[in-house]
Every structure is written in structure tokens, then in C-alpha cells.
Amino acid sequence: MTWILKDKSMHYRNAPSRYVTHILGHEGAGSLLSALIKDGLANSLSAGGNDNYECYSEFEVNVSLTDKGF
């Protein structure tokens, strides 16, 4: 899934998308991915953003689903 977000250039020092990327992309105990794997729904998950555009940014979450997850 990809979301188009408003320009965040004024917040570049705080890097808000990095926080969300870290939370969603974490793979340790208690993470979203560990819960999905435990339930047999997914094999992998990645999250990240692209803030290199002048008037907008993108944030994307990719999940590789198992047959059960699909």
C-alpha cells in the first residue's frame, strides 16, 4: 500500500516518517511482523517513505502474505 502525504519538508529535522517506518518495520518480539508470522498470515514486511519530492511525499508498506493471509 502506498500513501501520498502532504509536503513534510518543514519537519525534516524531526523526520516523522522515520518514526513510523521504525515502528512498522521492526521485526522483534511484539512487532506487527512477529504477530503476522505467528498467525501464519505473512512472511515479510517492509515500510518506508520517500521525502524527496517538492510538494508531497510517499509512504509505503509492503507485506508478503502467505496463502492463509491472502
pLDDT of residue 6: 82
* DSSP H or E stretch at residue 4: strand 2-6
- pLDDT at position 53 over 70: no
Q: Which residue has the higher pLDDT, 50 or 30?
A: 30
- Tell whether the model's pLDDT for residue 67 goes beyond 90: yes
pLDDT of residue 51: 67
Q: What is the pTM of this model?
A: 0.77
Mean of per-residue pLDDT scores for the chain: 87
**pLDDT score at 43:** 96
Query: What is the length of the chain?
Result: 70
Residue 37 is predicted with a pLDDT of: 96
Please, which residues bridge with residue 64 across strands? 44
Coil vs helix vs strand at 11: helix
